[in-house]
Structure 1
Amino acid sequence: MSPRALTVISAGLRQPSSTRLLADQLAAATRDEAGRRGVAVDVRMVELREHAHDITNHLLTGFPPAALRPAMEAVTSADGLIAVTPIFNASYAGLFKSFFDLFADDVLAGKPVLVAATGGTARHSLALDHALRPLFSYLRTLVLPTAVFAAPEDWAGATASGALDERVRQAAGELAERLAAELARPAAVDPFALTRTFDELLTGD
């Protein structure tokens, strides 16, 4: 059984990045949840800050620089996606949006996507529903029911608890379930495929 390809897109701009930290947690949880369902997952991380100049050049020229092509192919060839962005001014990061502007409307159609975000205040969590979901719905992806937002209090301090871990597990379980369902789906039957040999057809057997 071949592993499912999972591509994780992180749009964090700094190092270290809470956005990357959340992306890593979601990827690890999805791998664990998929393993419980008997499904192996091959994770590929795309760190957008490493491709910022190439993304801009692609937007300006209409052609992807060679260094950017593997990242784009990792997205288009994936069986599932985890997309994580910081929230600025109540919406996704410009780098995040610019990257997804590079894809034609239909190339991501049907892919399951787990959306997640980080921000400086819990109020930014609204961006998951009014910014990220519409973006991926427009791209005709299958946006999973549970989205994950992490505010500063989710990482440290007296208010930090297992709440974030619980949301991560819930979302990862939904994505793992979708990856397992896709793997179990029977292969499409070719209506023009021959089920009998020519000899059988000629002899009427």
Structure 2
Amino acid sequence: MRLVVVSAGLSVPSSTRLLADRLAAAAVGGTAARVEVVELRDLAVEIAHNLTNGFPGRALGSALDAVTAADGLIVVTPVFSASYSGLFKSFFDVLDKDAIAGKPVLIAATGGSSRHSLVLEHALRPLFAHLRAVVVPTAVYAASEDWGAEGLAERIDRAAGELAALMTGLSAAADAATGAVGAGPVPRAPVTTGTVTTGSATAGTVPAPAGTVPVQAGATPVHGVPARAASAGGFEVVPFEQQLAALRP
């Protein structure tokens, strides 16, 4: 697996890069991933040229390819004017709109004050939701006073663990799908007819559509989707939180 870290820190040394490195180290501990770091500071000129002429330079092109090919991402930005930096946003502006769709992404930020911590929720999370990435539940913000203080290490470990679980789970699912493609068609379970009921009166018996499972009367909907019968050959709607918990070591 391939984990790509995107750091938008500008100074040397950079607290943004330090947070990125700590998150990467914690995530790799739970996977067999190799890490590649993209320093946006080194790509600033090529990003500006790409915005004006539409063509990436060689270094920027390599960085964009790395992000596109990644199995998971860690993205870290400093806070500028209560939001992500312009350099950070510009990089994702020149990235193809479908490049990170479905990829697990851990979002993080650094700032001089804890008052900017909500930047993760009002700026970064909506950005990556728009790009259709899978953003891990725990985001990490590190203010100046957080370094060396209690709590930061625990947040880093929790967020990195969630990212590692998603990367491992998606990789296993992809491997299983690849194996299933070469194994030929999967036999379907026999499909029976189902009854449609209204209250206690039976409205009639209708054939069940191919590949579906009869809906039990009175089944509780989950997020607006009727619960399906948990019978032989049937399916059960499982909330995302339970699926994520099952992937954790």
Alignment correspondent of 1:54? 46
CA distance in 2, matches of 1:181, 1:97: 29
**Cα displacement (A) at 1:89:** 1.1
Counterpart pick for 1:109 among 94, 101, 105: 101
Alignment correspondent of 2:68? 76
Counterpart pick for 2:161 among 165, 168, 173: 173
**Cα displacement (A) at 1:191:** 8.6
**Cα displacement (A) at 1:33:** 2.3
1:57 aligns to what SS in structure 2? helix
Alignment correspondent of 1:197? none
Are 2:13 and 1:7 equivalent residues in the alignment? Answer: no
Alignment correspondent of 1:187? 177
1:104 aligns to what SS in structure 2? coil
- Structure 2: which amino acid aligns with 1:164? L
Alignment correspondent of 1:201? none
- Structure 2: which amino acid aligns with 1:148? V
1:74 aligns to what SS in structure 2? helix
Work out whether residues 30 and 176 of structure 1, in 8 Å CA contact, stay in contact via their aligned partners in 2. yes
Give the number of the structure with larger relative contact order, counting CA–CA contacts within 8 Å between residues 6 or more apart: 1
CA distance in 2, matches of 1:168, 1:17: 17
2:177 aligns to what SS in structure 1? coil
2:97 aligns to what SS in structure 1? coil
Q: Taking every aligned residue pair, what percent have the same amino acid on both sides?
A: 58
Q: CA RMSD in A?
A: 1.8
In terms of fraction of residues, the more helix-rich structure is 1
Instruction: For 1:61-140, list aligned pairs within 5 A.
Output: 61-140=53-132
**Cα displacement (A) at 1:179:** 1.1
2:57 aligns to what SS in structure 1? coil
Task: Kindly tell me the number of residue pairs found equivalent between the two proteins.
Answer: 183
CA distance in 2, matches of 1:155, 1:116: 14
Work out whether residues 114 and 144 of structure 1, in 8 Å CA contact, stay in contact via their aligned partners in 2. yes
Q: Which runs of 5+ in 1 are unaligned?
A: 35-39, 195-205
Q: Deviations over 1:29-63 (max 9, x none)?
A: 001122xxxxx111000000010000101111101
- Structure 1: which amino acid aligns with 2:61? R
CA distance in 1, matches of 2:99, 2:30: 27
Work out whether residues 105 and 138 of structure 1, in 8 Å CA contact, stay in contact via their aligned partners in 2. no
4+ residue runs of structure 1 moved beyond 4 angstroms? 191-194
2:3 aligns to what SS in structure 1? strand
Work out whether residues 81 and 112 of structure 1, in 8 Å CA contact, stay in contact via their aligned partners in 2. yes
CA distance in 2, matches of 1:123, 1:83: 20
Q: Deviations over 1:99-134 (max 9, x none)?
A: 000122222100000000000110111100000001
Counterpart pick for 2:152 among 164, 172, 175: 164
Q: Could you state the TM-score of these two structures normalised by the residue count of structure 1?
A: 0.85
**Cα displacement (A) at 1:192:** 11
Q: Could you state the TM-score of these two structures normalised by the residue count of structure 2?
A: 0.71
**Cα displacement (A) at 1:190:** 3.8
CA distance in 1, matches of 2:59, 2:172: 34
CA distance in 2, matches of 1:133, 1:180: 22
Work out whether residues 67 and 99 of structure 2, in 8 Å CA contact, stay in contact via their aligned partners in 1. no
1:68 aligns to what SS in structure 2? helix
